[in-house]
């Protein structure tokens, strides 16, 4: 029988959800991008928009938890 493997993490992760728009980008005019990340929202937004050289406007961010706090 194989022993259970334990995983120990050194960094606490706070899952986040966020929303942003891309004003001035006609192809996505009127669209809102909604995302989930386990890294910082700022880092994730830069990853998504930097390579396409797209300006963005962050609309919202918050912890990714259920309404009951779980």
Q: What is the pTM of this model?
A: 0.74
Condensed to tens digits (0 to 9), the pLDDT of residues 22-62 reads: 998 888 889 999 999 999 999 999 999 888 788 999 999 99
**Do residues 61 and 20 make contact, with C-beta atoms less than 8 angstroms apart?**
no
d(CA 43, CA 58): 12
d(CA 70, CA 67): 8
Could you give phi then psi for residue 69, rounded to 5 degrees? 90, -5
Other CB atoms within 10 Å distance of the CB of residue 54: 15
């Amino acid at each position: 029988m194989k022993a259970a493997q334990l995983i120990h993490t050194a960094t606490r992760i706070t899952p986040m959800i966020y929303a942003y728009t891309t004003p001035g980008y006609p192809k996505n005019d009127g669209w809102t991008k909604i995302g989930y990340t386990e890294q910082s929202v700022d880092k994730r937004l830069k990853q998504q928009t930097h390579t396409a050289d797209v300006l963005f406007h962050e609309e919202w961010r918050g912890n990714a938890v259920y309404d009951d706090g779980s």
